Amino acid sequence: APIILWMRRDFRLTDNPAMHWAAEQGRPVIPVFILDEVVETWGAAPLWRAGLGLATLSERLEDIGSRLMLRRGRAIDVLRDLRVETGADTVVWNRLYVADERARDTEVKEALRDEGTEARSFQAHVLFEPWTVQTGAGGFYKVYTPFWKAVRDRDLGRPLPPVEALAAPDAWPASDDLNAWNMGRAMRRGADVVADHVHVGELAARDRLVDFIETKVDDYATARDMLAVDGTSGLSENLTWGEIGIRECWFAGQKALHDGKGDAEVFLKELVWRDFAHHLAYHTPRLTTENWRPEWDAFPWQGDGADAEAWRRGLTGIDVIDAAMRELYVTGRMHNRARMLVGSYLTKHLMTHWRIGCDWFADTLIDWDPASNAMGWQWVAGSGPDASPYFRIFNPDTQAEKFDPKAVYRRRWLEDDAFFDAVPRSWAIGPDSRPEEPIVGLALGREQALAAYQQRDAE
Ligand code: FAD
């Protein structure tokens, strides 16, 4: 009987354990992507970017004699229908760890097994599954450095080779048409602009990894902080859709380390930050929605008002903040340091709830990763487990002088007209829309935030 291969965030043929297992069984395999109850909640940019990834994956599958089926509906209903239509008796997938994905997968696994269908899942999306890393006391890690020390010397083995053939069923079941799903519908004008900045698919991802190891890793520790320098791998976009396996990146980083390439260990540490985010999201599912430290529930966070809107539109009047918000809108990405700066300005100077920033990123990032995004925001806001303390408030101007000394990054994004082409016309933004004075000045914002913080602790 055929095997259903349920594809979710694993748009690749190499080091894809579920696909690998299915291929080895010598039975027909039916790969399917489901526009299900979790996917329906994704923001505009992730949904659009996933659509590009699916188109490429579909071609890759055709190269190995297979096809990608597309279905829409609740995951369990779709899988049941497919089972009946195709006579499949097995469903396989690679595991995910964030709350809504886990809830869906648990339901699916239990229902299928109750009905006598074999349901098998595999590790692929992280280096170290959350339950395999435990503190001496048997709990989970809340601080990054001990987590890193616990995992850094583990042997992960070699990534699996690419699957070279998947047997087709006698007849393919019906599939939706990807274009009819119109996954870019919420992007409107923005899609054409962001399209210039994407690197879609497994082959593009591998090129990025090779280029990074050959030309960038040597100087990574310093270059990664410089706003105008293209000094990082850019792989987050591909890792989040599984267009490259995290193990392949780890393996390349380890090899670079052994070859004596300067900053390879710093790169490995960053890969482990991604794992740490999944570790936290698994052990405390509320990471993605609520203050990880409940004492923050009492903080007088501002809601979604004019300040938040000005921040989203890059109209705060602070050059580096507005430049970064434009970078985000135009490219679907933002430099890591800039993410910290815009996060700090929003949650501290504007005292706006981190969730509002987290939601905006979830709507605009093509590398949106529910675990890393939530961890990043809670870290910036001070409400997370291993967070930067709230009273450590970045001064965006000083940071810009240090990490963008010649103002190249600021000019690049503040003078680029692509932003005006990308934003909704209703924003009515033009080159002169930015305020001359910051909406909340740096000194005042800092004072207000610190006063509110002290007040919170006094109460
Ligand atoms: P590189 O510097 O080349 O790093 C290699 C890989 O390590 C990345 O691709 C990523 O998978 C991982 N990594 C690096 N830094 C981090 C980090 N701080 N946390 C978790 N993983 C990391 N990253 C996302 O992938 N998706 C998000 O939605 C996301 N939201 C963020 C929100 C905020 C507020 C902050 C402060 C950070 C966020 N990050 C997020 C982390 C980080 O900014 C990006 O992973 C990084 O900028 C991606 O660029 P790169 O691939 O060139 O990274």
User: Is the distance from CB of 319 to CB of 438 less than 8 angstroms?
Assistant: no
Instruction: Name the residue with the closest Cα to ligand 1, atom 10.
Output: 236
What would the mean pLDDT of 53-71 be, rounded to a whole number? 98
Residue 126: count of CB within 10 angstroms of its CB = 24
pLDDT at 101 over 70: yes
Cross-strand pairs, 120? 92
């999944």: which residue's tokens?
Answer: 278
Query: Domain ranges in the chain?
Result: 1-124, 126-156+201-283, 294-458
Tens digit of each residue's pLDDT (9 = 90 or more) over 162-174: 999 999 999 999 9
CA atoms of 117 and 113, how far apart (whole Å): 5
0.95 surpassed by pTM: yes
pLDDT of 457 reads 76
What would the mean pLDDT of 185-208 be, rounded to a whole number? 96
The per-residue pLDDT of the chain, averaged, comes to 96
Residues enclosing ligand 1, CB less than 6 A?
A: 224, 232-236, 239-240, 270-271, 273-274, 277, 336, 339-340, 343, 361, 365, 367-369, 372-373, 376-377, 380
Residue 220, marked binder: yes
Residue 235, marked binder: yes
**At the topology level of CATH, where does 1-124 sit?**
Rossmann fold (3.40.50)
Q: Read off the DSSP letter of residue 158.
A: P
Q: Using most ligand atoms within 8 A of CB, pick from 214, 239, 336 the residue to mutate for ligand 1.
A: 336
Domain 126-156+201-283 has CATH 1.25.40.80: yes
Tens digit of each residue's pLDDT (9 = 90 or more) over 64-87: 999 999 999 999 999 999 999 999
C-alpha distance from residue 265 to each of 196, 227, 256 (Å): 31, 21, 9
Nearby residues of 430 by Cβ (< 8 Å), 6 or more positions away: 420
pLDDT at 241 over 80: yes
List 148, 172, 181, 273, catalytic entry: 273
ipTM of model:
0.99
Same CATH fold, 294-458 and 1-124?
Answer: no
Name the token pair of 354: 């981190």
pLDDT of 456 reads 81
- Whether 360 sits among the annotated catalytic residues: the reply is no
What would the mean pLDDT of 355-377 be, rounded to a whole number? 98
CATH number among 2.10.109.10, 3.30.1490.20, 1.10.579.10, 3.30.830.10, domain 294-458: 1.10.579.10
Name the token pair of 375: 């961890």
Tens digit of each residue's pLDDT (9 = 90 or more) over 265-308: 999 999 999 999 999 999 999 999 999 999 999 999 999 999 99
pLDDT at 459 over 70: no
Segment (H or E) for 34: strand 29-35
pLDDT at 374 over 90: yes
pLDDT of 262 reads 82
Segment (H or E) for 92: strand 90-94
What's the 31 CA to ligand 1 centre distance in angstroms? 29
- Whether 379 sits among the annotated catalytic residues: the reply is no
pLDDT at 326 over 70: yes
pLDDT of 90 reads 98
pLDDT of 140 reads 98
pLDDT at 218 over 90: yes
pLDDT of 209 reads 98
Q: Read off the DSSP letter of residue 302.
A: B
Residue 234, marked binder: yes
Cross-strand pairs, 69? 32
pLDDT at 387 over 90: no
What would the mean pLDDT of 146-152 be, rounded to a whole number? 98
- Whether 301 sits among the annotated catalytic residues: the reply is yes
What would the mean pLDDT of 429-444 be, rounded to a whole number? 94
